[in-house]
Amino acid sequence: MTDDVLLFEGLKVLDVGSWIAGPVAATMLADRGAEVLKIEEPVVGDGYRGYATLGFTPTADVNYTWAMDARNKRSLSLNLKTDAGMDILKKLIGDCDVYVSNQPLALRRLLNLDYEDIKALNPRMIYASLTPFGEAGPDSDNEAFDLVAYWNRSGLLNHMRPDGHEPIQAMAGMGDHPTAVALYASIVTALLQRERTGKGCMVHTSLLANGLWSSSCYTQAQIAGADFSTLASQRLTGAVYETADGRWLQLSMVRGEEEFDRLLIAIEAFDILGDDKYATLDAKMVHRDELTTRLREIFLQRSSDDWLRLLKEEHALNVERVVTFEEVQNDPHLPLNNMVSRPVEDVGIDYIINDPVNVEGVKKVGARHAPGHGEHSAEVLIEMGYGEAEIRSLKEQGII
């Protein structure tokens, strides 16, 4: 492979899904050169197209989530509830390398689009399945977004909160995007297996599996029969403290007796330093609520800039200000490390967020505009050998 050839150039991918977790795995393949064709319903298309316009989302003049997550694809609107629509899909399946679906399992059975239904059409195809709760079990047919399947069912919703506070909902897409990476990893692993065996296969992951993986340090403790009563509800070294300017400081990297004593000296909390009640780390943990209250009173006396200058610059303590999205946007580490990059054509946004997978020598195509609904329907059908009269007839019948 020459330096100017993209890793997945020539790889044909069908994105037969909606919203984020399944389709974004296909986006990751498209970023590395795959030809990704998105299959959408003729009337409404992928519901995710309208997410950024909903009343509870940040408002902008550009469809920012669609531009990010649907980039570098073509769109074919296709009614899979018609014989003609299904015939077109089956022809596409026969010529594809990867088939990505997060359609509900019950719908797949209804449409005869399970792996067992279609694998004979293309034995070399990688069939990538994304579900909320897994392929088996009493809840396997249930539909759910990541707020339920990833965030709640894994235990994260209940345990990512201080005592006495109600459970906090995750941000949109918080479970979908890492789950897409897992599905991408499954697809790439299967492609390597196909390279060695010549055979396709089914790969799958779920929102629940990825939520469980995210919560695994504590969930594995539960499975191991660990005693959770010894777990502090608010770890002393993990606390955040409000400052005079309404910002917060994170002290999670201030660990151990020596570092904590250096902190007390820096903030001139000599009364705490000399109090036998807090003489050891274990003693500090026993009285953690009282100690935290005293520290909060101190940190409220100065601005976050003052504290950072004192603690980071003068005393070399690992203290961070809790970051806002505006500050994330302006973080110089993002473009320097290719976490964001400029689109290669005008998409209405200066920078697009990249997926977190980086392989030296594997190039990405750069973000191009996300497709309009059915934008490439006629183009794709012409490539498949359909004539103009046939395409007009398909449109008139609502098949495309």
Q: State the angle between helix axes of 207-214 and 216-223 in degrees (0 to 180), rounded to the nearest 10.
A: 80
Q: How far apart (Å, rounded) are the C-alpha atoms in residues 156 and 81? A: 38
HSE-up (13 A, CA, CB side) for residue 29? 35
Known active-site residue 176: yes
Q: How far apart (Å, rounded) are the C-alpha atoms in residues 130 and 113? A: 13
- Please pick, among 31, 69, 146, 176, the residue that the annotation labels catalytic: 176
Query: Among candidates 92, 71, 15, which has minimal Cα distance to 383?
Result: 92
Q: How far apart (Å, rounded) are the C-alpha atoms in residues 5 and 190? A: 21
Phi, psi of 76 (to 5 degrees): -120, 115
Q: Which residues sit opposite 341 in a β-bridge?
A: 352
Largest CA distance in the chain: 89
Contacts of 202 (CB under 8 A, 6+ apart): 115, 119, 126, 127, 128, 129
b/e sequence 185-195, b meaning 16+ C-beta within 10 Å? ebbbebbeebe
Query: Among candidates 223, 215, 114, 82, which has minimal Cα distance to 156?
Result: 215
Element (H, E) at 326: helix 325-329
Q: How far apart (Å, rounded) are the C-alpha atoms in residues 312 and 306? A: 10
Q: Which residues form the catalytic set?
A: 176
